[in-house]
Amino acid sequence: MPSKRNPVVYLHDILTAIDRIREYVGGLSYATYEHLYEKQDAVDRRLAILCEAVDRLRKSGVGLEADIDWRSIQSFGNILRHDYDSVTKEIVWNIIQVDLPVLQHTVEQILRDRFPDAPPR
């Protein structure tokens, strides 16, 4: 079992969360998503995991690309947990549609460039 201090574990956790979110909402329109509470709950849970993995990744000491606001991702996890009533469906949908593809590309690039010998997830 890999060490939980290994940054590759956190990078894989981020990608897994993104994959699952895409599975949950794939093919859905916003109009459909806003009425599917189980999907919303599942997405929120995966976003919380993703944000926690980013927090742990930042604490691991790995230098992270400046084109991603890693601190904001970490902070969003705190908002999901502690100020959840301020997080609208529209905010989450925008994160899914706009932010997650960019984050996925960046995390995949980090894995390729910095951890080319990392085991696949």
No. of H helices and E strands in the chain? 6, 0
Q: How far apart are CA 50 and CA 76, in angstroms?
A: 10
Q: What is the pLDDT of residues 68-107, one digit of tens each?
A: 999 999 999 999 999 999 999 999 999 999 999 999 999 9
Q: How far apart are CA 44 and CA 111, in angstroms?
A: 25
Q: How far apart are CA 21 and CA 19, in angstroms?
A: 5
Residue 65 identity? E
First CA to last CA distance, the chain: 12
Confidence class for position 4, pLDDT limits 50, 70, 90:
low
Q: How far apart are CA 60 and CA 82, in angstroms?
A: 24
In angstroms, how far is CA 3 from the centroid of its own chain?
20
Confidence class for position 8, pLDDT limits 50, 70, 90:
very high
Confidence class for position 24, pLDDT limits 50, 70, 90:
very high
Q: How far apart are CA 51 and CA 45, in angstroms?
A: 10
Domain boundaries, the chain: 7-114
What does the block give as tokens for 90? 């529209």
